[in-house]
């Protein structure tokens, strides 16, 4: 009986959530390795993660979060550059009339239109395949982050 207790004390139970997170990370790696992850890792000089090896959840989540954050920053800047005039007019209209336009309303409109813009990029009809890959990565990586946040 002592050997059984000793063995059961040394076995580490791994919850199902951990496997789900790992499988999700591996799916992201399989889908986005060549077009997105590998080139960015090369630029960063990261050598420990590669496509063939089993992905460690912690390392994978760090890379996915980093790329998600930077890609959102780039895409949001691009969206603001293309559609900034619209939002500038909303601010100017709010200042020149008695109509109440709170900054928060304008920021919410910006966020909603940015999400719509990203969804349009995910569409199969988008002629730029790299934009489509980036938009799909943002969606999958966001879902992955929500999952990780929910289990921690």
Task: Give me the pLDDT at residue 55, please.
Answer: 60
Q: Within the chain, which residues score under 70 in pLDDT?
A: 1-15, 48-55, 91, 93-101
Virtual torsion, Cα 63, 150, 30, 44, nearest 10 deg: 0
**Domain ranges in the chain?**
2-151
Task: Give me the pLDDT at residue 17, please.
Answer: 72
Q: Note the pTM of the prediction, 2 decimals.
A: 0.71
Task: Give me the pLDDT at residue 132, please.
Answer: 87
Task: Give me the pLDDT at residue 30, please.
Answer: 84
Tokens 């000793």, residue located: 6
For residue 45, the Cα-to-chain-centroid distance in whole angstroms is 21
Inter-residue contact 119 to 126 (CB < 8 Å): no
How far is the C-alpha of 121 from the C-alpha of 124, rounded, in Å? 8
Task: Give me the pLDDT at residue 4, please.
Answer: 54
Task: Give me the pLDDT at residue 74, please.
Answer: 92
- What angle in degrees, to the nearest 10, is found between the helix axes of 103-122 and 57-96? 130
């Amino acid at each position: 009986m002592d050997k059984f207790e000793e063995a059961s004390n040394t076995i580490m139970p791994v919850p199902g959530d951990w496997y789900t997170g790992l499988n999700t990370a591996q799916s992201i790696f399989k889908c986005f390795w060549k077009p997105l992850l590998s080139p960015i890792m090369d630029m960063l000089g990261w050598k420990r993660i590669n496509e063939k090896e089993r992905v460690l959840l912690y390392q994978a989540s760090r890379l996915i979060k980093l790329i998600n954050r930077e890609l959102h920053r780039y895409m949001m800047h691009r969206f603001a550059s293309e559609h900034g005039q619209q939002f500038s007019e909303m601010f100017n209209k709010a200042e020149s009339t008695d109509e109440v336009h709170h900054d928060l309303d304008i920021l919410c409109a910006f966020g909603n239109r940015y999400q719509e813009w990203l969804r349009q990029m995910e569409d199969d009809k988008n002629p730029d395949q790299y934009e489509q890959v980036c938009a799909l990565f943002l969606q999958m990586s966001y879902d992955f982050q929500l999952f990780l946040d929910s289990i921690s």
